């Protein structure tokens, strides 16, 4: 188990806050035991929360030339045909994965290929399960073109708690299947837009793991 690099700043802030809180409790209320315990317990809770949120477990990635691998941990909340208006501008099969605050929040490439399109969109912070979050919230759009020519689009979408999207890709980059492409802080969702007729291996309500669960086949 590793600690993800995106969490160092948050961990520093929590540790600094905890040190100040404990200092105030011990030196401003030297005989007030309840204040001491409150400071210790709150500090421990915040530190454990940050450590678990930014954990980056070591995993054996599931890979395959024809496989579409889950780009994130979470629950499948949407499977439907919809019109993708930004890049494809036609009908696509949408699969959405909701990430709760207790999930691992590393985002990974679902297929290998070339990053043929990337765009960052500033936006709102609606709850991630709201239908309009896909088009109104802060988000990124990434398209990876497979060696066979098939293109898959996926979006990192911010939510009510997620206030920062991090990405490590740009157009022209080589995408390695299951390689890290980004991180979303404090819960949100990832949408996949697949060709109509894609054979799916998941259904609504399924819990998937990034880099391990097979979403479908190209």
* DSSP letters for 144-156: EE-TTS-EEEEEE
How far apart (Å, rounded) are the C-alpha atoms in residues 140 and 142? 6
Within 10 angstroms of residue 131's Cβ, the number of other Cβ atoms is 11
How far apart (Å, rounded) are the C-alpha atoms in residues 58 and 207? 19
Phi/psi class of residue 175: alpha, beta or left (left: φ > 0; alpha: ψ in -120 to 50)?
Answer: beta
Contact between residue 26 and residue 36 where contact means Cβ atoms under 8 Å apart: yes
Q: Which two tokens stand for residue 177?
A: 């299947």
Contact between residue 82 and residue 91 where contact means Cβ atoms under 8 Å apart: yes
How far apart (Å, rounded) are the C-alpha atoms in residues 98 and 160? 12
Residue among 10, 96, 188, 213 flagged as catalytic: 188
Contact between residue 74 and residue 208 where contact means Cβ atoms under 8 Å apart: yes
* 188 carries an active-site annotation: yes
Query: What are the residue numbers of the active site?
Result: 188
């Amino acid at each position: 188990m590793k600690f993800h690099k995106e969490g160092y700043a948050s961990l520093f802030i929590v540790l600094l806050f905890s040190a100040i809180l404990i200092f105030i409790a011990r030196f401003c209320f030297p005989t007030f035991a309840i204040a001491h315990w409150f400071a210790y317990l709150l500090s421990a809770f915040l530190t454990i929360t940050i450590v678990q949120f930014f954990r980056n477990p070591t995993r054996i990635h599931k890979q395959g030339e024809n496989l579409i691998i889950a780009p994130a941990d979470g629950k499948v909340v949407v499977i439907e045909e919809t019109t993708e208006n930004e890049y494809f501008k036609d009908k696509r099969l949408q699969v959405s994965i909701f990430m709760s605050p207790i999930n691992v929040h590393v985002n990974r490439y679902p297929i290998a290929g070339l990053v043929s399109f990337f765009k960052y969109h500033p936006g709102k912070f609606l709850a991630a399960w709201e239908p309009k979050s896909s088009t109104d919230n802060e988000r990124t759009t990434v398209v990876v073109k497979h060696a066979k020519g098939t293109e898959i689009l996926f979006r990192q979408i911010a939510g009510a708690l997620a206030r920062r999207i991090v990405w490590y890709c740009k157009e022209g980059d080589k995408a390695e299947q299951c390689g890290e492409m980004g991180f979303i802080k404090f819960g949100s969702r990832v949408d996949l837009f697949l060709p109509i007729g894609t054979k799916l291996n998941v259904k609504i309500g399924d819990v998937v793991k990034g880099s391990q669960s097979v979403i479908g086949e190209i």
